[in-house]
Chain A
């Protein structure tokens, strides 16, 4: 089982909180970029295993034209063994997800949309520096539905400085009423070097309040559960059977190929990432070299397995761990489990395969758990 990821490093305008590799650019660059991307995909052709998931992310993939998307998808299908029933996600932002774009995506085989709402409060959208209105977000959602998408994710952000609890609850309730199959609700992380970070440093907007952040999070967990979503990862909620297979692949330490600048690939023992530089990527015809290239030993992989596995609310899969590694997870990590259990961050379960999971406190302080495994 493997996944394919394609990075589209373009957007209409850089959001104030965003630290991903993405920037606005003209049509000519986009065209040349797509050519480089296609070269990289063809160069790395590999049909030794079936690909169960494809994910086109960004940036904003919906800024590409239908023709450009088609070139990319064709290259993927020709160079990799993409399963008939693969989960095929494309990210989209409200300002560029027209009904036509949605239909074109659908025609290319995309069967899951991930729409970046972030908020339905105009004030919060302004602070985040989003280019769309809340109304456009809802329209984009309907465009997706009308184009036939029956698996849609909505991305939300909470803990936005200056946003009140009622504002977030209103956003969430309106999203629930749209009934998407999947909701990702992210606690805002103010990353260094972003415009938002400067705004806070210069006191143009207040410091995020982590009390409010947790209140929002706890509300989201409870409201989404009540609406029939299962909380399967720290920030992710899905109606039964609609968990993101692609993202589960990351947390279950499965193989993935990443294409485009900054995209990472993992083959089970080695993780490497393309140099995060769009110009260089284009100039080298999609072969910019690696900015990281780590060969991971069993010990390190085993720890990483736990670090990623604890993101899942059911906890890491010990059965799979034993299949992959010669270590016994209990023996290897006994001290860590004891310490974390003693501090009330994880708890024992009835499930033999997944014997530990995060407690509610562990969900708020999960980094303390992850730090045990780095």
Chain B
């Protein structure tokens, strides 16, 4: 029991850019895990993509030792969480492994849409929320006003919140003390049957699937036979231990309240589902832990290997990514244009981009992705309802009575001066205004109903750019709504490119068709013959562009000193061509597809 009393399991929640990762790094530094000199920037964001984009995607967990001012040595388990709205589900996974959440609020920005969403999630998980005010070193900091805002808007006490500058290193000890004082120790039964929640996992070529667990009840030691409760699969533990930044520390056992990893040569990826409960094979628990609400992907697109030979590798890679990315869904599909691939489901476009980048970097698979689509409901004349996540399967318009599209309830929190800009943007995106609340004299929450299709593309980016980065967004699916939708097809050299078909609101079809045709003209290199690009609805051409033919492709000179250089140039061109797909003998580079789908 003593052991358990001195454990603090917590996560850090914050709106994106409020300094969560920097604070986490400071805590690591303060608890002596790293000296500041050893520390690479933002240790917990260890995927390349995370560092480059400055965002946290994956939950990370790490164990720290802290000697508090009361003289007691505490064990901290810090579980880092993602900040982007697309990755809310990751937050909920982390929360289930903790007793407390440190809420970071930017001293000049104040409470934002995601701050609220995260806090409510934490409260739903019965976590103790420990607010702290960050970035107090900035001239624009207004800590007292922000404290008041936290009390008024969120409704938790904040007057004693530590004032921190993670960047400069002010107030870090206050944060650690607040954690000791306010986060309750774990309360599980150390003597009961083992119940451990899997909150993350990944595939290791040598150890099989490695699972990250929070031991709720009981204990587990090396050599134990364990059972994964949802499948009943049994394995023997080969290694367990806890986590330090960037490496694992094997130990003999894990006890109730602790956070750690377990390797048990789990070869079958499906056996180690995040959210499942681990117990012992003998005398195990009767009932699993509540687990997680299953996340539903909202955006779908086809992913096809550029090199058809990579199909199996892609299947394998998607399976491995799915291990610690519960929201990623995929099933096989075929396209006339692209061959064999997978229909994949994502939470949003950022999630999609991340998966695509990870496939390319970690598995070296080059992909072509089709235009993303949401799930439409098509009501046919004969009363049948078709659920459509792939525009290619759209029934003949003559058979369609009407169509429905998913809509979200979106809250946008913003300084009052940008309300006009947001209203304009959101009405361009077919949003319906619901209401506006003042949370302070100069800050408001706007609530809208917006078609999901409009949100997934660049709504968030546009929102940021039209409010100088001040507005924040949170949204959730709220239902389906009848809408006037059409299918837009793209033809290259007279042949349909099924991968570029998409469903769009009738009022926007013309503008989008034209934009896409222009973009394709820019990104498809000139060919040996003239290539018409047409955007069509039904049989009607709504936009047309032409790519001129090239007539010359010849190195005029090639002498002794040039041969190597010219060869390299030709090799590079050849590589480029390999990465292209042929449609009706038109060579289309991957970038063309990407640029079209980025158009939104």
Instruction: Tell me the A residues contacting B by CB distance below 8 Å.
Output: 5, 7, 159, 186-189, 210-211, 213-214, 217, 234-235, 247, 250-251, 256, 258, 262-266, 271, 273, 292, 294, 304, 307-308, 311, 363-368, 370-371, 374
The CA-CA distance from A263 to B562 in the complex, in Å, is 9
The CA-CA distance from A367 to B576 in the complex, in Å, is 14
The CA-CA distance from A116 to B573 in the complex, in Å, is 30
* B528 cross-chain contacts in A, Cβ below 8 A: 365
The CA-CA distance from A364 to B549 in the complex, in Å, is 13
Q: Do the beta carbons of B560 and A210 come within 8 Å of each other? A: no
Q: Provided the pairs A214-B551, A214-B552 are in contact, do residues A371 and B558 lie with their beta carbons within 8 angstroms?
A: no
Q: Do the beta carbons of A264 and B557 come within 8 Å of each other? A: no
A76 to nearest B CB, angstroms?
16
Q: Do the beta carbons of A250 and B559 come within 8 Å of each other? A: yes
* B554 cross-chain contacts in A, Cβ below 8 A: 187, 234, 363-367
Q: Do the beta carbons of B564 and A271 come within 8 Å of each other? A: yes
Residue of A nearest to B568 (CB): A374
Q: Do the beta carbons of B563 and A304 come within 8 Å of each other? A: yes
* A264 cross-chain contacts in B, Cβ below 8 A: 560-561, 563-564
* B557 cross-chain contacts in A, Cβ below 8 A: 186, 189, 235
Q: Provided the pairs A187-B556, A364-B553 are in contact, do residues A263 and B561 lie with their beta carbons within 8 angstroms?
A: yes
* B550 cross-chain contacts in A, Cβ below 8 A: 210
Q: Pick from A211, A266, A308, A368: contact of B553, CB below 8 A.
A: A368
Interface: B555 (CB within 8 A): yes
Instruction: Tell me the B residues contacting A by CB distance below 8 Å.
Output: 528, 550-561, 563-564, 567, 570-571, 573-574, 577
- A-B CB proximity, top 4 nearest: A210-B552, A366-B554, A187-B556, A186-B556
Residue of A nearest to B552 (CB): A210
Q: Do the beta carbons of B570 and A189 come within 8 Å of each other? A: no
Q: Provided the pairs A304-B567, A371-B573, A374-B571 are in contact, do residues A366 and B561 lie with their beta carbons within 8 angstroms?
A: no
A58 to nearest B CB, angstroms?
11
* A308 cross-chain contacts in B, Cβ below 8 A: 558, 563
A263 to nearest B CB, angstroms?
6
The CA-CA distance from A186 to B554 in the complex, in Å, is 10
The CA-CA distance from A211 to B548 in the complex, in Å, is 11
Q: Do the beta carbons of A258 and B560 come within 8 Å of each other? A: yes
- Given A266-B560, A367-B555, list of 12 further CB < 8 A pairs? A159-B552, A187-B554, A234-B554, A262-B561, A264-B561, A265-B560, A273-B561, A308-B558, A364-B551, A370-B555, A371-B573, A371-B574
The CA-CA distance from A365 to B561 in the complex, in Å, is 22
Q: Pick from A189, A234, A250, A294: contact of B560, CB below 8 A.
A: A250
B550, B553, B554 pick with most chain A CB within 10 angstroms: B554
Residue of B nearest to A369 (CB): B554
The CA-CA distance from A307 to B558 in the complex, in Å, is 10
Q: Do the beta carbons of A271 and B563 come within 8 Å of each other? A: yes
Q: Do the beta carbons of B558 and A250 come within 8 Å of each other? A: yes
Q: Do the beta carbons of B559 and A273 come within 8 Å of each other? A: no
Q: Do the beta carbons of A235 and B560 come within 8 Å of each other? A: no
The CA-CA distance from A7 to B561 in the complex, in Å, is 10
Q: Do the beta carbons of A211 and B551 come within 8 Å of each other? A: yes
* A211 cross-chain contacts in B, Cβ below 8 A: 551
B258 to nearest A CB, angstroms?
57
A22 to nearest B CB, angstroms?
12
Q: Provided the pairs A307-B567, A365-B528, A367-B573 are in contact, do residues A258 and B561 lie with their beta carbons within 8 angstroms?
A: yes
Q: Do the beta carbons of A213 and B552 come within 8 Å of each other? A: yes
Q: Provided the pairs A258-B561, A304-B563 are in contact, do residues A367 and B553 lie with their beta carbons within 8 angstroms?
A: yes
Q: Do the beta carbons of B552 and A374 come within 8 Å of each other? A: no
Q: Do the beta carbons of B560 and A5 come within 8 Å of each other? A: yes
The CA-CA distance from A187 to B574 in the complex, in Å, is 22
Q: Do the beta carbons of A294 and B564 come within 8 Å of each other? A: yes
Q: Do the beta carbons of A364 and B560 come within 8 Å of each other? A: no
The CA-CA distance from A213 to B551 in the complex, in Å, is 9
B550, B552, B557, B563 pick with most chain A CB within 10 angstroms: B552
* B551 cross-chain contacts in A, Cβ below 8 A: 210-211, 213-214, 364
* A294 cross-chain contacts in B, Cβ below 8 A: 564
* A210 cross-chain contacts in B, Cβ below 8 A: 550-552
* A304 cross-chain contacts in B, Cβ below 8 A: 563, 567
List 6 A–B pairs whose Cβ atoms lie within 8 Å, in order of A's numbering.
A186-B556, A210-B551, A250-B559, A271-B563, A307-B567, A374-B570
Q: Pick from A258, A262, A263, A371: contact of B570, CB below 8 A.
A: A371
Residue of A nearest to B571 (CB): A374
* A251 cross-chain contacts in B, Cβ below 8 A: 558
Residue of B nearest to A257 (CB): B560
The CA-CA distance from A292 to B564 in the complex, in Å, is 8
Q: Provided the pairs A371-B574, A371-B577, A374-B571 are in contact, do residues A364 and B564 lie with their beta carbons within 8 angstroms?
A: no
